[in-house]
Structure 1
Amino acid sequence: MSVDTLSRAACRHQLRQARRALSPEQQKQAAIGLARHLPDHTLVQHAQSVALYIANDGELDPHLLAEVLHTRGKRLALPVLHPFHSQHLLFLEYLPGQPMRTNRYGIPEPDLDKTRVVPMAELDLILLPLVGFDNAGNRMGMGGGFYDRTLGCLDMGARPQLIGLAHECQRVDQLPVAPWDVPMDAIATAEGLIDLAG
């Protein structure tokens, strides 16, 4: 798909429709594929603390991946809406299967507990949801800018490695890029990983 002539909003709408159109069986197989190949990638193997997300709106579901990483001794974290900094995220330690509450966007997240906050400096890797991506590592999110704002204030040398997770149907030739967009180090689909660091 080429998005040269599409606005960001139109592009986002088309890509969200594409991932929502995947059947439950396709979603299940994608989650299995991701959990099968991604834990063995160097970026994941070297990470001790990994942030991921609870899938929503047709996103590639990392719940099976979380279980694999947990059994391998990784410290896991989930994003929550920051209580004091509007449109920013905070990361809380997560154990697969723990109770969740629904935030104002209808997305499950852990109860806010300051004793479980994982500082950004302690995260080695963040697995981010995305709406669309291209082979240059550009990521289009849902449009709220939560990840871009949260990550944009970090020094590039100090920030965690970033892997965007997506279905193959979310790949485009070239995304329209905004100055605030934070590029990915890699993109992972159910089929494999595109390493952009080299």
Structure 2
Amino acid sequence: MNPTQPISVAQQKSELRKHLRQIRRSLTPAQQQAASQRLLNTLLTLPAYQNSQHVAVYIAADGEIDTRHFVEDAWRKGKNIYLPVVDPQGSKTLTFLPWQEDTVMINNKYGIPEPDSSLYQTRLASGLDLVLLPLTGFDEAGKRMGMGGGYYDRTFAFVSGKEKKAPQPQLIGLAHECQKAGNIPSESWDIPLTGVATDQRFYASLTTDSN
């Protein structure tokens, strides 16, 4: 490649993604445990969580900030918790199935546990109140960077642009504070977030209504 040729957005994101994944994977189990508890403290302050009944989360992998303390709090409060399930038909979208302590789980193609789709009823993405999604990186404006597969962008494309229809789930990215970058390159298909919650604070998005 010509060294004077501008770096594309995709290349910028790929290089930054690799760097930030290395940072979060370097955290010790003790640091991960402490971060998970502090993340709950951040989320407890948010009206988006306080007022929600149907909440989607994820099971942490690859150094992602763990949602376990949050999930246990939500179960105690009688909230309905859901996990994303990768569409087996190859559409690169997500469906959402209920998650409880006794839910029968199977590993998806990435080795991540998810509810057995043959046993539980799907909840539409538009029927969720709050979606907590994993991030590889974020910036103070609330822009996000995922793993690059585009699953969440495709699934929640209906929340962006002129096609907005009520009701809509609030989308909050979760990350370690150390995953913050100066500026996340954005592309037209990136879904807007309500904000980003970390183990230190909440960053309201500058492009969406964070109420």
Report the CA distance shift for 1:97/1:193 in structure 2 as closer, same or farther (over 3 A). Answer: farther
- Gap runs ≥5 in structure 1: none
Higher RCO (CA < 8 A, seq sep 6+): 1
| Residue 76 (structure 1) shift | 0.7
Partner of 1:160: 169
Check if 1:11 corresponds to 2:16: yes
Q: Secondary structure at the match of 2:156?
A: helix
Residues 52 and 77 of structure 1 are in contact (CA less than 8 Å); yes or no, is this contact kept in structure 2? yes
Superposed CA offset, 1:91-119 (max 9, x none): 00111353421110111111113642111
What is the distance in 1 between the residues matched to 2:45 and 2:121?
Answer: 27
Amino acid corresponding to residue 183 of structure 1 in structure 2: P
| TM-score, normalization by structure 2 | 0.86
| Residue 85 (structure 1) shift | 5.2
Superposed CA offset, 1:1-24 (max 9, x none): xxx997111011001001001111
Amino acid corresponding to residue 93 of structure 1 in structure 2: P
Residues 35 and 64 of structure 1 are in contact (CA less than 8 Å); yes or no, is this contact kept in structure 2? yes
Amino acid corresponding to residue 177 of structure 2 in structure 1: E
Partner of 2:4: none
Check if 1:95 corresponds to 2:100: yes
Partner of 1:138: 143
Residues 67 and 96 of structure 1 are in contact (CA less than 8 Å); yes or no, is this contact kept in structure 2? no
- Gap runs ≥5 in structure 2: 1-7
Amino acid corresponding to residue 89 of structure 2 in structure 1: F
The more displaced of 107-116 and 122-131 is: 107-116
Check if 1:195 corresponds to 2:204: yes
Partner of 1:123: 128
- Write the mapping of 1:66-85 to structure 2, written as runs, cut at 5 A: 66-84=71-89
Superposed CA offset, 1:148-182 (max 9, x none): 01111454344310000000111011111111111
Residues 42 and 197 of structure 2 are in contact (CA less than 8 Å); yes or no, is this contact kept in structure 1? no
Larger Rg over CA atoms: 2
In percent, how many aligned pairs have the same letter? 44
Q: Secondary structure at the match of 2:98?
A: strand
What is the distance in 2 between the residues matched to 1:96 and 1:33?
Answer: 22
The more displaced of 10-19 and 40-49 is: 40-49
Report the CA distance shift for 1:188/1:118 in structure 2 as closer, same or farther (over 3 A). Answer: same
Residues 65 and 175 of structure 2 are in contact (CA less than 8 Å); yes or no, is this contact kept in structure 1? yes
Q: How many residues get paired?
A: 196
| TM-score, normalization by structure 1 | 0.91
Check if 1:184 corresponds to 2:193: yes
Partner of 1:108: 113
